[in-house]
Amino acid sequence: MARQLIECVPNFSEGRRQDVIEAIVAPFKNRKGCYLFDYRADQDHNRLVVSLVGEPQAICDALLEASRVAVENIDLNTHQGAHPRLGAVDVIPFTPVKNITMDECVELAHSFAKRFNDALDVPVFFYEAASVRPDRTRLEQIRKGQYEALKELVKTDPSRQPDVGTKDRLHPTAGGTVIGARKFLVAYNVNLNTTNKAIADAIAKRVRASGGGFACVKGMGVDLKEKGLVQVSMNIVDYEKTAMYRTLEFIRMEAARWGVTVNGTEVYGMIPAGALLDSAAYYMQIDDFQNEQVLELKLLELMGEQEA
């Protein structure tokens, strides 16, 4: 059987205590079949994002170990940060990379969720392709109100209750976890040279799909107190339909209405080459550019054909 590869980008609600961050990441290091590509912690967001690629079993084994560390060390009752969150282990998405389908990633999400709940007693909500409720597929639908509201709502509102685990309660300190299967996602943030968060909120509302903006964009305003800036934080859920440069230029145009300029951007975690190449070709005004013209991509394609 051909070797299966998935991407997994677990998000943990810890971005300030370096000892806890390193303890969470440790199970992903030097583990056969699990490759730690990147991890980034942000103090303002108080969040850790880990980028993994590897074999499903190896990644799931490491995930369970890392999640146990997070559950034992993170208390949502005292946690504060700019990023919305529901649990100590907030989100675990699985994405097909090679020799595995989206349907198989859905099965993986469902089976891992049971294992996760059995081991840690943290209830699980399914999202995106793994959702089992047609009216509850988007992450923001599940996480609405965050931990503080949801821990009360699950007691009486069936529409807000988890899919796996005890229905009417969250874990007393670790909350709940959202697990799913989805396409590659680009986490793209645009910083503005102002401390007025209302401006970032207004622009985020206009750029995201729910506000009449780009169909494949989710966005919110974030106050970056450590940097003395505000940010329009975005998830581009389909970069082939909504290019990064389009969101940047839209935000630049909207910011100008308030006399504000863009003060840098950031990509959080890993990103497909195509997402960057599309914007590079746009800004360099290259006619009829094709990704196949990139030497390294052609070499990787050749190497893959030789391995097959």
* Residue 289 CB contacts under 8 Å (≥ 6 apart), including other chains: 277, 281
* Residue 259 CB contacts under 8 Å (≥ 6 apart), including other chains: none
**83 catalytic per annotation:** yes
Q: How far is CA 283 from CA 262, 276, 279, in A?
A: 16, 11, 6
Alpha carbon 271 to chain centroid, angstroms: 11
Residue with tokens 């389908």: 101
The Cα–Cα gap between 198 and 201 comes to: 5
For the stretch 88-120, what's the b/e string if a residue is b when 16 or more beta carbons lie within 10 angstroms of its beta carbon?
bbbbbbbbbeeebebebbbbbbbebbeebbeeb
The Cα–Cα gap between 299 and 295 comes to: 6
The one catalytic residue among 45, 83, 110, 171: 83
Q: Which of 21, 150, 136 is nearest to 85 (CA)?
A: 150
Residues designated catalytic: 83
